[in-house]
């Protein structure tokens, strides 16, 4: 009976050894591709950690905002001729103005049951307009006043604001009316939160006042810091990809489009930030402006490189490229053949000694 080798010979062991190391998933097993995969995974982990951190920070500040005390405060002895409510409505960062709603409410002495003033009364609020007059018989309707708030927006998003205002009222004959002032801060300004709120009064002059401060909310600060980090990483990525295309001859067309699109995407990200001031803050000078300029330069460089490299090929260049591809293909076949032969020889050397077995386990060639 003819000797035979192990049925699980080189035909089953060699491919696993050969292709499992040399050719299986070649895109992921080369060192350069592995570096890209690891970089992508680290980038994904960074994004997840950043989003979770921003979410936790937002929850912390929102709870802190809900726990603020004394959102509504009053000043006055409660026996005034009028009760006026002060409610902040809108803060315009570009012009540093705060829009406030004043609501004169019914008083027992100077308004009838329909809310109409029985005497001509002028409220002086010190804003724009500086006063509001209700004639005899006019309904006491709410009116808005715009205050100029001193501000330094260059330190955005860590800018803070403070407002002091006074209010008093005079009748048409020159007599001064007594007031009760209710300040309602429960209506939150978008992307801001209140800090200090201190009412005060000058009883000798029947003048009431209020001072309060407000700043950016925690969610706004977290979002701005996240976009600041994102723009820095985006700029580094644009420079890295441009260098890869210029010095390592990678295809420049997709990266050129991406670099050009990043210019407009950065402008969009800068514009959608809540209550953001006009461009010119430290945040812009240190991040946004440089990111846009560097992206423009990178896109222009990629365009020049792409235009220079992708010129029409001559017939001679096409023939040389074709022969080069054929040479590389033949070299690859020779290397694969050598690796296969080496793997088969190694498997044959490691196979157990020949033994006599039943002919039913022999290959067909031996049985014949």
22-64 residue pLDDT tens: 444 454 455 666 677 788 888 888 888 888 887 787 676 666 5
pTM over 0.85: no
Check residue 268 and give its pLDDT: 85
Task: State yes or no: pLDDT of 347 exceeds 60.
Answer: yes
Q: What pairs with residue 160 in β-bridges? A: 215
Contacts of 274 (CB under 8 A, 6+ apart): 190, 191, 220, 223
Q: Which of 90-99, 103-112, 211-220 has the highest mean pLDDT?
A: 90-99
What are the backbone angles phi and psi of residue 151, rounded to the nearest 5°?
Answer: -150, 155
Q: What is the pLDDT of residues 205-220, one digit of tens each?
A: 778 888 888 888 877 8
Task: State yes or no: pLDDT of 365 exceeds 60.
Answer: no
Of 274, 272, 95, residue with least CA distance to 189: 274
Q: Are 157 and 216 in contact (CB under 8 A)?
A: yes
Average pLDDT score over the chain? 76
Task: State yes or no: pLDDT of 2 exceeds 80.
Answer: no
Q: What is the pLDDT of residues 150-199, one digit of tens each?
A: 888 888 888 889 888 888 888 888 788 777 777 777 666 778 888 767 77
Burial 7-28 (b: 16+ CB within 10 A, else e): eeebeebbeeebbeeeeeeeee
């Amino acid at each position: 009976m003819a000797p035979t080798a192990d049925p699980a010979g080189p035909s089953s062991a060699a491919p696993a050894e050969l292709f499992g190391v040399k050719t299986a998933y070649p895109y992921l097993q080369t060192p350069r591709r592995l570096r890209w995969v690891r970089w992508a995974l680290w980038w994904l982990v960074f994004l997840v950690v950043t989003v979770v951190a921003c979410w936790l920070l937002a929850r912390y500040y929102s709870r802190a905002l809900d726990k603020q005390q004394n959102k509504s405060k009053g000043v006055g002895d409660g026996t005034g001729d009028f009760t006026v409510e002060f409610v902040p409505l809108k803060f315009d960062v570009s012009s540093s103005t705060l829009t406030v709603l004043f609501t004169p409410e019914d008083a027992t002495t100077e308004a009838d049951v329909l809310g109409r003033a029985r005497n001509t009364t002028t409220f002086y609020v010190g804003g724009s307009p500086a006063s509001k007059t209700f004639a005899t018989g006019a309904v006491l309707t709410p009116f808005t006043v715009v205050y100029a708030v001193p501000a330094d927006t260059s330190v955005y998003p860590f800018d803070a604001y403070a407002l002091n205002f006074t209010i008093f009222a005079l009748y048409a004959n020159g007599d001064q009316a007594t007031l009760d002032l209710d300040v309602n801060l429960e209506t939150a300004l978008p992307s801001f939160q209140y800090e200090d709120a201190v009412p005060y009064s000058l009883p000798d002059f029947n003048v009431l006042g209020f001072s309060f401060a407000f700043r950016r909310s925690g969610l706004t600060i977290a979002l701005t810091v996240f976009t600041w980090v994102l723009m820095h990483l985006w700029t580094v990525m644009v420079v890295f990809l441009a260098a890869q295309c210029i010095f390592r001859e990678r295809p420049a067309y997709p990266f050129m489009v991406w670099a050009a699109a990043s210019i407009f995407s950065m402008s969009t990200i800068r514009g959608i930030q809540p209550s953001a001031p006009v461009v010119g803050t430290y945040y812009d000078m240190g991040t946004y402006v440089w990111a846009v300029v560097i992206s423009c330069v990178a896109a222009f460089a990629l365009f020049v490189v792409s235009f220079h490299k992708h010129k029409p090929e001559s017939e001679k260049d096409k023939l040389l490229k074709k022969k080069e591809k054929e040479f590389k293909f033949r070299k690859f076949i020779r290397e694969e053949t050598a690796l296969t032969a080496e793997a088969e020889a190694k498997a044959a050397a490691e196979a157990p000694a020949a033994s006599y077995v039943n002919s039913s386990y022999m290959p067909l060639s031996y049985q014949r």
